[in-house]
Each structure stands twice: as structure tokens, then as C-alpha cells.
Amino acid sequence: MTLHPLLGPIMPGTAFLIAAVLVEYFFGMTRAIVAMMLGLGLADYLFVPPYQQIAVLDRSDLTLAVSYPLITLIIIVLVERLRRAQFRAEFIASVAQSRYEMLLRLDNERALASRAADETHRLLRHLPHYHDDIILIKAFERQAGSADTASAAQQASGIAPGVRFDSVHPEDTLRLSTTTHAGSQRVRIGHGASYKAFACIAERFTTHAGDFLVFRVENPA
């Protein structure tokens, strides 16, 4: 209304076009169309001569009724497409960021689990050399894909010989190497030129790195 004395009827729908575009950007297509239709009526009533009269329809009214909705709809549709593309881009970026963070967490957990397993195996390789009663330590790896963890088959992944491993009778060494359950059994250990029978205790330990079977001599000489 303030600019009307300067502009006259040259651009009667410009302000309403800008208003409709702003409504589209902030509130969406439906409200923008409502704003466009209201703007068309107000522009024709207030800024197209004869002013504030709708009884007479002339070329100016027809020009406004065709040009204003057409231009406004084109701009609104373009803004709507841009807003949807922006929303899709932001959504894809958010999903990608979430997946990236998940991958980072999985990599960190995998690295921590691998380090813990390496430290456990290093400790188990270290123990037999400083404990005289340990014959050997056998490591097992759990096989995935079993519904019953307690009854899942397990495979030996390595044997760490102890200080007494070489002095055990070869037949007993072979028997211990193939043993997969805890319990007590007899083993023959070299005593001078002969072998002497000792009680051997097999104990099973379960850790996050796997299961371990420790064979130790009870009451070693």
C-alpha cells in the first residue's frame, strides 16, 4: 500500500508472489497455494484499476488472473522440488553419518577384542615357562552357528607346552594332546632312566578369547 503511489498498476501481484514463495519455503505447498489465492483476490481488489471494485472485469484483471498464478505456481513448484531435494540430501547425510559411527564403533570393538585375545594368548604362552607343575595349555576356539552354546563343538587352535612337556611319556603326550574335557588322569613323567606315574589334573577355563584346558601335575616331585 505504501509503494502503490509509486508503482501504480505495473506490478500489482509482486508483493503477494513474494509472500507466497516465503510461505512455501517455510510452511509447504498447501499453505503457499492458499496464500497465492488470497493474494490474487487482494491484488485484484486493491491494486488493479478501478480500485476496490470487482464489478467490472477488464484486460488488467484478466492479465493478473493469468500471469500471477502462473508465475507463482512455477516458482512454488521449483522451491518445493529444491526443498525436497534438500530434505533427501540431509536425510542421506544423516543415515551415512549414523552408519559411519556404527562402523567406527564396530571397528573399535573388534580392535579391542582382538587386542584382548592377543594378550590372553600371550599370557597363556608365558605361564607354562614359569610354573613347574604345568604340562601344557590347550586353546580352543568356539565355532559359530550353533544354537546351543553349551553343547557346541569346539576345535583346538593351539597348544602351549610347559616345562614338563618334554619329560612326559610320548604316549601320554599324545593322549593329552587329544583330550578335550576336564578331569583327572595319570601321566608318566621321566624320572631318571625310568618313568614315574603322577596324577594330572585337567582344568577348563572359559574366557572371552576362547576356552582353555590346562594340564598340571598334582604334587610334582
CA torsion, points 17, 23, 24, 28, in degrees to nearest 10?
-150
Short-list 208, 214, 216, 200, CA closest to 139: 214
Instruction: Find the mean pLDDT for residues 108-121.
Output: 82
Short-list 207, 197, 202, CA closest to 179: 202
* pLDDT band at residue 141 under the 50/70/90 scheme: low
Domains of the chain, by residue range, sit at: 1-129, 131-217
Are 189 and 167 a contacting pair, CB within 8 Å?
yes
108 has pLDDT over 80: yes
137 has pLDDT over 80: yes
List Cβ neighbours of 113 (8 Å cut-off, separation of 6 or more). 208
* pLDDT band at residue 2 under the 50/70/90 scheme: confident
CA distances from 11 to 5, 8, 22, 54, 108 (A): 12, 8, 18, 18, 63
pLDDT tens readout for residues 13-46: 888 999 999 999 999 999 999 999 999 988 888 8
* pLDDT band at residue 129 under the 50/70/90 scheme: low
* Arithmetic mean of pLDDT over the chain: 82
Beta strand spans in 118-219 (E) = 134-142, 154-161, 183-191, 194-207, 210-217
